[in-house]
Each structure stands twice: as structure tokens, then as C-alpha cells.
A and B are shown apart, each in its own frame.
Chain A
Amino acid sequence: MKRVILVGATDGLGKALAEVYAARGFWVTILGRSRQKLDTLVADLRNRFPVATVNGVVCDLSDAARLEPAFREALAVTGHCDLFLYNAGVMHHGDGVTSEPARDAEMMAVNAVAAVRLLGLAANWFRVAGRGQIAGISSIAGDRGRKGNPAYNASKAALTTFLEGLRNRLAPFGVTVSTVKPGYVGTRMTAGKSGLFWVVSAADAARIIADRLEKGHEVFYVTRRWALLSLALRHVPRFVFKRLGPP
């Protein structure tokens, strides 16, 4: 009986998640920035999965004043919410050496600041409702700061830690908070990049995420093998990581 509000689903993993939930006949409400993209996606999902109830709410995550009205509108069309899933995320590839402050700040704004705002609203609603699940798609990238994209790592680390705090805050109220840490997922974000391995398709990743969220898992990697790699990565000493660390 899941009623899902999905933030950031017009592309990639989010779109695949929307498809998985729609295929299961759930109520899916999608928050997206572009009205046109959103309408296309909602119509497509409604046509392909008539058992589902799919709605779209326009919300530009960089417009702070719009977040609360959008959240309330999403709740109103969903009826109530069993799962609030924050998937929105951007990654800018630089040359791996030069910082680009404006683009770095945008990553922080979408991946972390907007997440804090929206998940905070959701947390308040769920706390009073006394049940339900909040989940954020963070990343294995948040486990360590790497030389290739420090701002992306930082934004995901912020999301991971924020979710951990929420989990501890909401646990007494019967609310589950889950952190999803995908490795490489085959989407536009990773397209054309070299040196990828263990790549999982967006559809498979979405299915795994939906299944594990439904089981109430709190922190998990997609796929599981990334957990091992992460364990190793997190324990590489600083001086070694500095010299030999991955990009």
C-alpha cells in the first residue's frame, strides 16, 4: 500500500524508480523541475501502468520558497505518504584538478541544501504521523573525499550524515530513515566516463532499491559488493589515500 513521493525522477535512476513503483500499482507523485518533462513522464507512466496512480508536481529545487507549497501539494495529491524518497542529484565533471566554485555550489545546493529543506519538511510530517519511511539516494562517493570531485563527495557526505541524524531523531516515533548508496549506475551521469566497473543498469538498481526499502533496510549499497569496497576504502590510511587514492 505504498504511497511514494519521489523527488527528482525525470531522468536516470529516479525515472527507473518511478517505473518500478508504478509497475507495482503504487501511488507515485513525482516532484520535478520541468513542467514539460514532468507531464511527458506522468502521461507515459499512466499509459504504461494503468494500475498505478501517478501525479506530478512542479518544483524547482533551487527555489527555496517553492519547496513547502510543493511538498504540501504533493501530499494532497498522494493522500498521505508512506515513503518520501529524495533522489535529486547533480554531478558536474570537471577536469579533475580545477575547482569550479559556481558548479560546485550548485551540486551542494541540489544534493545537500535542497535535500535538507525537503527532507526536513517530510521529517516533521512523518514524526507527527508516527510511521512511514524517508529515504535519500546518497552515494558511495560520500564515504571518502576524493581528488576527482571534492564537492560532489562533500554533498553526498552531507546527505548521508543528515539522514543518519534524522534516523536517530525519528526512530522513537516509528519512522524508518534509509540511506541508499549506489556505486556506478548506468545513467546519463556516468555516460562516457572511463574506468567504470561493476556498473548496474538503472532498472536493476531501481528494483533492488525498491525491494530493500520495502524490507526496511536502513543503510545499503547498490549492489551489495560495493559495501565491501567501501569498507576497504574507508580504512585506507590518509597518507596512502592521498598518494594512491582513486580519482
Chain B
Amino acid sequence: MSALPVPERVEGFGLYNVSVSPVLRPSSLEALRDALAACAARGEAPVFRGAGCSYGDASVNAAGPVIEMTGLNAIAGFDEATGIVRAGAGLTLGALWKFAIPRGFWPPVVTGTMHITLGGAVAMNVHGKNGWKKGTIGDHVESVSVLKGDGRVEEIPRGTPAFDDVAGNWRCVDPIVEVALRLKKVASGYLDVEAFVTPNLAATLEALDRAKDDWDYVVGWMDCWRTGKGLGRSVVHVANEHALKEGESRGWSVAEQIADVHMGPLPAPILLLGLRLTASGPQMRLVNLAKYASAAVHGRHRYRQSLVAYSFLLDYLPGWNEAYRPGGFIQYQLFMPKEAAEAAFRKALRLQHKTGVVSSLAVIKRHRADPSPRGYAPDGFSLALDFPVTRRNASRLVGLCRAFDALLLECGGRAYKAKDCVGSVERLAGARGGRP
């Protein structure tokens, strides 16, 4: 029995939630069993961590042990006919799409970063910009294999109560070791993207709702700084699979996918420096204004973009979250039923203006209801708000988050563990008399 390794700093993606934990990094099932035994011998319950892309405290463990699952990343098999890939829980979406696209497949649901692991995605039951059409990743998982306490691996097919107990269960005791995911066939590796602006909150929600059946991907970027008549104005991006023209490349190669990813003429270090200087300050007001204004000036327009360039916006500037040090940042994602959404989001925006803590980046999406027992998405909208944490705003920010909690309770909304940095999921579950 080996002792636990020396504790090290482990952070959530937002860098606000931090733990000092011995980290075990098994690269095989055997090593995972040993790691679990080492934790059990110390009498400590480990937290399982994928790539650590959950914003909050989901993958940190105060002073307790953390088992990082990224080593179990083998692709065990792929069935070209059904599109079902069997892969280790530690496989990242990045590795998965690079495997899938040359074969004409694409993951059915992807997040804003490709660095997440499959196991983490299933444990959180993540969603993407196609939340209305495709739901969460759990809807496309055929089976999950977990390592039981007695050391054997059990495969759990979808549609069973045991499956519902794993998908979306971020505090699952038995680690997910393998996932069978049904990939989606794509004729083209490109999307036709249409961008336009909506002048206020009502127009934004209406545009998202109207686009949801005609477009696969629907997302809006909201300028939270705007008050008055333009409250809730947004830039909306909708996208469908690109209709291939005669002789046009299908874009099935990794090189073609990556070729579309570019951030403009400035080199990354300059951009990072710029972000560091602006990220935590009121300058973000100008950034939001510029984003809206340039889209408004451009007018409604269409362009072709690769799946990678459209999907993984968080990866354009690697290490951007470091710009938020030392305080880090938090995200608060409000899921609201569609009837309550407009009034609730209006209130959420006004609360920000009242407290003087305004989100630097806000993303709005349309979701279909997730009927699974651990589902977090009602039929409605979600508004994801990023807030830097600084010494100046910390006290006000915690008050704002508590006001959001109350708003969710009042309107029948939900919080989502992958984004939760301030314990809202647990608080809401407690207030509703359930457990998270």
C-alpha cells in the first residue's frame, strides 16, 4: 500500500475554487484500483477529476485526495455502421473529434472547450449550443462502465435506473471508466453560420425561440452592461450543417478544421496581456459594446465556418482564464423555464446593475426539457454569466449570487453543477427539500 502523494494545488476552471490535495493519476484500471485502495486505507473519500474544466468546486476536494482520470483515455472500439465509439473516461473531446472527423463523424454534443473528458461530460451531463435539438450528452450515451467497490467493472446500458444514477451524477461514488457514445454522421465538416443582432431582451428570447427548430446550433452573446431600452441586447449566432457545393471539400481532415481557427492579426501573448489588463475591470463594458456594435454595423450575414472553429470558442486563446488571477472568476448559469425567462432575466440584469457587479461575458442558449431524474434543464433558456472575483467586488458578488439563487427558487429555475462555483446547486436542493 503506497502512501498518498504530496498535496498540490488543484483548481476549478474558474481558478476561484481551489484545493490542496494529493493527486493520484492512474493510467490503467489496475492503477485506479490501487488509487482507490490507497484512499480507502487513509479513510478518505476521493473526488474524481477529468480535465478540471468544471468552473467551480466539482473537481476539487478541499484537503482530501483527488483522482485524475485523464490517463484512462484509450479508444477501445468504433463501429462505423452505428457510429458508436467506446472510449476510456479520460479521453478528451479534442482527441475524440480528431479521431471522428476523418471518418465523417462528430460528437453529438460538444461544450465550448474541447479539453473536457468523456467521463466528466457524462458525470455532469453537459450540453452544447445545440441544446434544443440534441439535449445533453447523456441522451447519446449507449452505456457507461463504472468500477464498482468490489473491483469489477460493470457496464450499465441506457434506459436502466442504474444509468440514470450515473449520468449527471457528479458525486457518483463509483468512477466512470468507459463510455459508449453514439457519434453523429456529418456530410460536411463545415457549418453555415448566420449572425445578427437583437436589440433587447424580448427580441433576443424571441429570436432564439424562433431559430430553435430551423437551426441546429443557437447561441446568443448578451451585453449585460446595457441598461434602459436596450437591456438584454445580444449578438445571435445560429448554424446549420453546410450544404456542400459541387467539388467543394467536405472538410473532414483535422487540418481543414483547425485552419478556420484564427483570432485576428495580434499574436496570442499580446491578446493575453490585453485580457489581463481589461478582464477584471469596467473596460469590459467597452469590449461588450464593441462586439455588439461591430455585429450591428455588419448586419445580418452568413459565413462558412468549420465545426471546430464554431464549437470551441473557449480554446481560441489557450490559458485565457489565467488572466483572471489572482482572484479567479466564477460563472453563474441560470436555467429558467421559458414562461418565466423574460421577467427573470430582466431581473437578473437589473440586479447586476444595482449591485454594480456586471458580467463581463454572458451567453444565452435555448434548451429542451431534460426529463431524466438528475436533469437540470427545463424547457426554456439558460443565461451563463461570467464574473471576475476581485478584492473590491467579492462581497457584493456573493450577495448577487444569493439573489440569483432566490430568483431561481422563485421562478422554478435550476442551477448546474459544472458551472456552480458558489454552492448554489446544494443550496437550492436543500431549499426544495431534496438532495443534489
Residues of chain A having any CB pair with chain B under 8 Å: 1-2, 24-27, 51, 53, 71-72, 75-76, 78-80, 124-125, 128-131, 174, 214-216
Contact = CB atoms under 8 A, between A and B. Distances in A.
Contacts of B427: 53
B57 A24 contact: no
A214 B391 contact: yes
A51 B399 contact: yes
Nearest to B393: A1
A128 B7 contact: yes
Contact of B398 (A24, A78, A80, A216): A24
Contact of B62 (A75, A124, A131): A75
A71 B394 CA distance: 24
Contacts of B160: none
A174 B326 contact: yes
Given A1-B330, A131-B326, 20 more contacts: A1-B16, A1-B389, A1-B422, A2-B394, A24-B395, A24-B399, A25-B398, A25-B399, A25-B402, A78-B62, A79-B17, A79-B62, A79-B423, A80-B17, A125-B20, A125-B63, A128-B8, A129-B9, A130-B326, A214-B395
Contacts of B399: 24-25, 51
What is the size category of the interface that chain B forms with chain A? 20 to 34
Contacts of B57: 79-80
Contact of A27 (B9, B60, B330, B423): B423
Interface string B293-336: 00000000000000000000000000000000011001000000
Contacts of B136: none
A76 B64 CA distance: 8
Given A79-B423, A80-B18, A128 B62 contact: no
Contacts of B64: 72, 76
A72 B62 contact: yes
A26 B330 CA distance: 15
B397 interface: yes
21 contacts: A1-B389, A2-B394, A2-B398, A25-B399, A53-B423, A53-B427, A71-B63, A76-B63, A79-B17, A80-B17, A80-B18, A80-B57, A128-B8, A128-B9, A129-B19, A129-B20, A130-B18, A131-B327, A214-B391, A214-B394, A215-B391
Contacts of A128: 7-9, 20
Contact of A216 (B8, B20, B391): B391
Contacts of B17: 79-80
A205 to B, nearest CB: 19
B377 to A, nearest CB: 25
B423 A75 contact: no
Contacts of A71: 63
Contacts of A214: 391, 394-395
Contacts of A27: 423
Contacts of A174: 326
Output the residue of A26, A75, A128, A216 with the most chain B CB within 10 A: A128
Nearest to A121: B63
- Closest 7 pairs between A and B when the two form their complex, measured CB to CB: A75-B62, A51-B402, A128-B20, A76-B62, A1-B394, A75-B63, A72-B63
Contacts of B391: 214-216
A133 B284 CA distance: 28
A45 B327 CA distance: 27
Contacts of A1: 16, 327, 330, 389, 394, 397-398, 422
Interface in B380-436: 389, 391, 394-395, 397-399, 402, 422-423, 427
B267 to A, nearest CB: 28
A26 B402 CA distance: 10
A80 B62 contact: yes
A59 to B, nearest CB: 15
B322 to A, nearest CB: 13
A80 B328 CA distance: 14
A130 B16 CA distance: 11
A80 B7 CA distance: 14
B398 to A, nearest CB: 5
